[in-house]
Amino acid sequence: MLNSLFTLVFAAAALASPLDSSETNTGSVAPPTSVTIKNIVYGGTGCPQGTVGSFISPDRTTFTLIFDRFVASLGPGVPVTENRKNCQLNLELQYPGGFQYSISSTMYRGYVDVEKGVTGRQQATYYFSGQSNQISSGTNFVGPRAGDYATTDTMPLTSTIWSPCGVTTALNVNSQVRLTSTVSGASGVITDDSIDGKIEFQVGVQWQAC
């Protein structure tokens, strides 16, 4: 069965508390020790209902969503609707008051097989419910190319978004894989790992005291 992974990693180091004016943002604040998943809502062509599993590690440093279907394909006889697959995720975390968090990096692994003229793209956009600011990361794979891929994108601190203080707000992740072509009849697929059928997204999260 094809499947893919989305992993949230709660970083051990975080920004300094802004409450102490005698400190600068070069120190660190320990992340909260009790982080739990309160609710997960998902939907999209890459994650139909009933096709996503989830778990959080015992030390609460890693959160994983496992997708059964997340494959885009292109070529003769392939419907255009298969050229792009997406999954809209709404993740609500429960953690102690006095903290806020932000996405700092993403890592994803998978498999891509694209002919000359075909480009595959893996992309994710992050935002908090009720906020207009977003951050995105993504990678293009230009054909001809075939094989596994593993890429990491780091978000600059100046472009990060933070969950609001005082309330627990859901993190939204709009993830997608898509294929485009400039050559008629060319084929391509961007899918799961070639061995065990996985795409793994690993997202570094930084914590900050309110």
Could you tell me which of 173, 135, 170 has the C-alpha nearest to residue 153? Answer: 135
Say what the pLDDT of residue 197 is.
Answer: 30
> How far is Cα 57 from Cα 38, in angstroms, rounded to an integer?
15
Six-digit token pair at 99? Answer: 């903290």
The chain-wide mean pLDDT, for the chain, equals 75
**Residue 172 β-bridge partners:** 90, 127
Coil, helix or strand at residue 159: helix
Say what the pLDDT of residue 17 is.
Answer: 34
Say what the pLDDT of residue 177 is.
Answer: 92
Domain that includes residue 48, residue range: 4-209
Look up residue 173 and give its DSSP letter.
E
Other beta carbons within 10 angstroms of residue 65's beta carbon come to 23
Number of domains present in the structure of the chain: 1
Look up residue 80 and give its DSSP letter.
G
Q: Per residue in 46-78, pLDDT tens?
A: 888 887 777 666 655 556 677 778 889 999 999
Q: Per residue in 16-31, pLDDT tens?
A: 333 333 333 333 455 6
pLDDT category of residue 203 using cuts at 50, 70 and 90? low
Residue 5 has pLDDT above 50, yes or no: yes
Q: Are the CB atoms for 190 and 114 separated by under 8 Å?
A: yes
| Start-to-end Cα distance in the chain | 43
Q: Are the CB atoms for 106 and 201 separated by under 8 Å?
A: yes
Q: Are the CB atoms for 100 and 210 separated by under 8 Å?
A: yes
The residue length of the chain stands at: 210
Q: Per residue in 113-136, pLDDT tens?
A: 999 999 999 988 889 888 888 988
pLDDT category of residue 183 using cuts at 50, 70 and 90? very high
pTM, 2 dp: 0.75
